[in-house]
Structure 1
Amino acid sequence: MPRTDASRTAATRPTASLRPIAAIVGFLAFVELTSGILQGYYTPILTDIARHLGIHDADVNWLEGAQLALSALVVPAFAKLGDMIGHKRMLLVSTAITAVAALILPFTDSFALFLAAWALMGFYVVWLPLEIALIWSRSRGAGHGAATTAKAAGLLVAALEIGAISGALAGGALIDALPLQIVLLVPAIAVVVCFFVIWLGVKESPELAGGRLDTIGLVLISLALLALTGGLSFLRLNGPADLLSWGLVALGILLVVPFVRWELRHDDPLIDVRLFRSPALWPVFVTAGLFGVSVLGAQAPLSTFARTDPEVYGYGLGTTGFTASLLIGVYLIAMITGALLYPTIARLITPRLTLVGAAGLVSLGYLLTLPFHSSFSQVITNMVIAGIGSGALVAALPAAAAAAAPASQTGVATGLTNSVKTLGGAIASCVFGIALLSHAAGQTAGAQESTAGSLEGYMTVWIVCGVTAAVAAVLLVFVPKQAFTDAPVAAPAVADDVLA
């Protein structure tokens, strides 16, 4: 009888230990819902913001460029600080900064102040990597760390996309009924509520690495990322002939060299570059960068292609603004589906094969658009295929990085997936902008005034998205078979390789 009781206790211990994690995931899902609102809410009201600030529509690009540059700087520092002093603590700090920035927007008509506050809102990009690291740190003690983190990541990404859809719909509806200042208050209030949800509902990671922040490494990587993203932003605005833009891009790449050399010598580096030697991690990081090309760089071209009138230009779907938003909405719903399906499929055929299949779906969806883009039904079918794969990858990549990284580097690893994805999107945004303008000169004057796109440019977008996703699928084939699982031998093997 005593033996039976002990067995029963052992069998029920993992379930009991996972209950607090389930509660934390519920609170973090609200955080990602808020993140989605921030990402979707402002899109329908950008024209109104431009009129309020007295700027040209083209100057709205500075908002995206500034936030992109700051986002790239924030993630490495906050991911490392999360491992050192607490993932919840850094979640609170980043949420507080985002809330203050969002509260500034309704109360200023100065473009400079609005631009600075908009850039500071980019601190929300660290939320998902910190959340995944926090969930992993709390769940690995239950013996189901990889599986639990994968399932939680799917739920968080689903909440993110639901927030993006809800935010876009709410922003579009409210701007027609309320003054802009009141409309801008809504996401700010949501972020303030989010702060208290984290403070009251989320417990800190049980094990912290401690140590001191590598400030020299932070300065070096910040300068490199700032030069690279700044150069890409100027390149997109000024065109491929701008020498200053290319000089900044080259400087950003060159600054990576002293950063890597410094990190290899440092006892407690900001980013342990040896992570890139891991056979399980380097394909994940490369995949994140290649995936950023489509998930961050291709959405604006998709919207503008849908709005292009085929009777005038001979291509496009000629949709209204609402119908185009439906196309984006269906794509986001497909991403939700992919994120929720990922843990189930991964459990059936291993996470590695699921990642390969997800990247393959993204590739298939975009490559199918090359021959099939003449009707709304064709394009929406292609985007559903790509969306399912994209949703799975958004959920899978940070979870896979957390499962394969050493225990003291989970925040850094999940943060790196976000950083390289952002860089992939920044490069793609620049390339796609140039591609869509490259054949504009051959259009009629009236056409050139109506749209900057060209069919050859859109073809380039679809080819690049399809090929980069296919390359990612091939690279993931070389990941060790039991990577990203709860197999007892998998995690130590990866950790030993990384620390060698």
Structure 2
Amino acid sequence: MHRVTLGTLAGVVGFLAFVELTSGFLQGYYTPMLTDIARHLSVNDADVNWLEGSQLMLAALVVPALAKLGDMVGHKRILLWSTAITALATLALPFTDSFVLFLVAWTLQGFYVVWLPLEIALIWSRSRSREGRSLVTARAAGILVAALETGAITGALLGGQLVDTLPLTVVLLIPGILVTLCFFVILFGVQESPDQLGGRLDLVGLSLISLALIAFTGGLSLLRLNGVGDPISWIVVVLGILLIIPFARWELRHPDPLIDVRLFRSPALAPVFLTAALFGMSVLGAQAPLSTFLRTDPEVYGYGLGTTGFVTSLAIGLYLIAMIIGALLYPWVARIATPRLTLVGAAGLVGVGYLLFVPLHDTYAQMVTNIMVAGLGSGALVAALPAAAAAAAPAHQTGVATGLTNSTKTVGGAIASAVFGIALMHGASGGATGGTAGSFEGYVTVWLVCSISAFVAAAALLFVVPKHAFQDRGAPVPVPASELP
């Protein structure tokens, strides 16, 4: 296998790095100012999780459909449309002080979550003639994630600085301008993937999975509003789970399913999807609690660090630097060891990082150290999971497989966001803390859930995934008849 250089990748990655820079900017920019946004909208810190949860719920709904459409009509085309929706929603945020309207715009902004899986599928498609295809994709994914985290660092530092000096309306306008620019970069700079499969979108399957996800996440939201003792909320959650059954049966019969549920039977892919879901709990569900914990005034509530927006953004920036390092190290470590063992180690780092928060959370240095340990593993996982799914998936379903890593990740994040919202509002003992801050017991719950979920993911990757998974196939392998739709 020949050595794949950065020059080799340049033609494959192209302008996609700028797209991920923009994606990272969106993900980092708002985090230092979540407390300010909560005060601006006259809601409590725990209600910030509604923003996170609603965006994740939308992502879980749209990613399967958009990933499938990417395979059907072209990944660039879907990338362009999702960017247009994100731009309109982002531009709407500065012009409302209503929590409901802000929530709607914030939710629609979540279309950006499909960008990375579409880009990985596009890269996989365009690198089909290259030797060492999985390594090409893994290194390209590392570059894209490095761009994403660079954007997130830039966004976090700029957002933290501006929120301390400018009116919030002006601060919220900047991301919308950047996403609009991103639209034109994609329009004129990104080349379309060479293969489009055509066909029709499975609208019945889309409707069934949408109903299941809406019921499931809606039930979690009701639990958060009404408490864990509310039977109706649990009934809605169980209904969402049960609705997966008719969806799966329909997909098994459909000649061109929205999601080939047989992919979940694959010994290589199933643990990847499980890892993505468990990883989503920390990388998507825990960001708002980390920010609000740092900014909580210890003199008032007895915990937290009382940091300013800019100091909070510095901690986030160091976390993102660690993610860049993890993303760029992944292909190098995977070549020395194996992709599977590297994924196991990355998930283990996330688990260790969040476990350290339980005893070590009293100083800024402790918080930053914990964040960076988790960040190293998180960066590797963000880069590795879609690349691993592309390498393990049938050739005609790379978009679907990479999209499923994001879908399962966002479902995990949505679940965690709801659970964390309940924990922060009521605490492990069930008593509200009063005021606008979350409960300390709730923060401990966040850290433990993130740690345990990461260790479970590491165990699944270690004991279930075949030893040589996620590596280049020596020759095209026909799909067994039993695995065909």
Q: Is the structural similarity TM-score above 0.5? A: yes
Match of 1:483 among 469, 475, 484: 469
Does residue 333 (structure 1) correspond to residue 321 (structure 2)? The answer is yes
Write the deviation string for residues 124-158 of structure 1: whole angstroms up to 9, x where unpaired. Answer: 11000100100011112212221011111111111
Distance 1:442 1:47, change over 3 A: closer
Aligned counterpart, 2:239: 251
Letter in 2 for 1:398: P
Letter in 1 for 2:454: A
Letter in 1 for 2:448: I
Aligned counterpart, 2:267: 279
Identify which range, 364-373 or 149-158, moves more after superposition: 364-373
Paired with 1:89 and 1:312, the residues of 2 have a C-alpha distance of 51
Does residue 373 (structure 1) correspond to residue 361 (structure 2)? The answer is yes
Write the deviation string for residues 185-208 of structure 1: whole angstroms up to 9, x where unpaired. Answer: 321121111111111111111122
Paired with 2:35 and 2:424, the residues of 1 have a C-alpha distance of 21
List alignment gaps of at least 5 residues for structure 2: none
Does residue 174 (structure 1) correspond to residue 162 (structure 2)? The answer is yes
Paired with 1:31 and 1:136, the residues of 2 have a C-alpha distance of 17
Distance 1:107 1:234, change over 3 A: same
Distance 1:417 1:495, change over 3 A: farther
Question: Alpha-carbon deviation of 1:222?
Answer: 0.9
- Secondary structure at the aligned position of 1:141 is classed as coil
Letter in 1 for 2:477: P
Does residue 118 (structure 1) correspond to residue 106 (structure 2)? The answer is yes
Aligned counterpart, 1:25: 13
Aligned counterpart, 2:382: 394
Please list, as runs of the form range in 1=range in 2, the aligned pairs for 1:303-318 lying within 5 A after superposition.
303-308=291-296, 315-317=303-305
Aligned counterpart, 2:438: 452
Paired with 1:180 and 1:74, the residues of 2 have a C-alpha distance of 30
Match of 1:127 among 115, 133, 140: 115
Distance 1:314 1:115, change over 3 A: closer
Question: Alpha-carbon deviation of 1:100?
Answer: 2.1
Question: Alpha-carbon deviation of 1:112?
Answer: 4.8
Bigger share in helix: 1
Paired with 1:289 and 1:160, the residues of 2 have a C-alpha distance of 20
Question: Alpha-carbon deviation of 1:463?
Answer: 2.4
Aligned counterpart, 1:186: 174
Please list, as runs of the form range in 1=range in 2, the aligned pairs for 1:52-63 lying within 5 A after superposition.
55-57=42-44, 61-63=49-51
Letter in 1 for 2:435: E
Among the aligned pairs, what percent are the same residue? 70
Aligned counterpart, 2:421: 433
Distance 1:298 1:109, change over 3 A: closer
- Secondary structure at the aligned position of 1:148 is classed as helix
Paired with 1:459 and 1:56, the residues of 2 have a C-alpha distance of 22
Paired with 1:479 and 1:153, the residues of 2 have a C-alpha distance of 21
Partners of 2:90 and 2:109 within 8 A in 1: yes
Higher RCO (C-alpha 8 Å, min separation 6):
2
Aligned counterpart, 1:197: 185
CA-based RMSD of the aligned residues comes to: 2.8
Letter in 2 for 1:89: R
Distance 1:432 1:442, change over 3 A: closer
Partners of 2:121 and 2:399 within 8 A in 1: yes
Kindly tell me the number of residue pairs found equivalent between the two proteins. Answer: 483
Partners of 1:21 and 1:135 within 8 A in 2: no
Distance 1:495 1:430, change over 3 A: farther
Letter in 1 for 2:359: P
Aligned counterpart, 2:453: 468
Write the deviation string for residues 74-96 of structure 1: whole angstroms up to 9, x where unpaired. Answer: 10100000011111111011111
Distance 1:313 1:193, change over 3 A: closer
Match of 1:209 among 197, 201, 216: 197
- Secondary structure at the aligned position of 2:467 is classed as coil
Distance 1:187 1:375, change over 3 A: closer
Partners of 1:404 and 1:483 within 8 A in 2: yes
- TM-score, normalised to structure 1, is 0.88
Aligned counterpart, 1:43: 31
Partners of 1:306 and 1:317 within 8 A in 2: yes
Paired with 2:369 and 2:286, the residues of 1 have a C-alpha distance of 16
Letter in 2 for 1:86: G
List alignment gaps of at least 5 residues for structure 1: 1-10
Question: Alpha-carbon deviation of 1:51?
Answer: 6.4
Distance 1:315 1:264, change over 3 A: same
Question: Alpha-carbon deviation of 1:110?
Answer: 5.5
Question: Alpha-carbon deviation of 1:211?
Answer: 1.3
Paired with 1:51 and 1:459, the residues of 2 have a C-alpha distance of 24
Distance 1:410 1:249, change over 3 A: same
Question: Alpha-carbon deviation of 1:24?
Answer: 4.2
Paired with 1:184 and 1:311, the residues of 2 have a C-alpha distance of 30
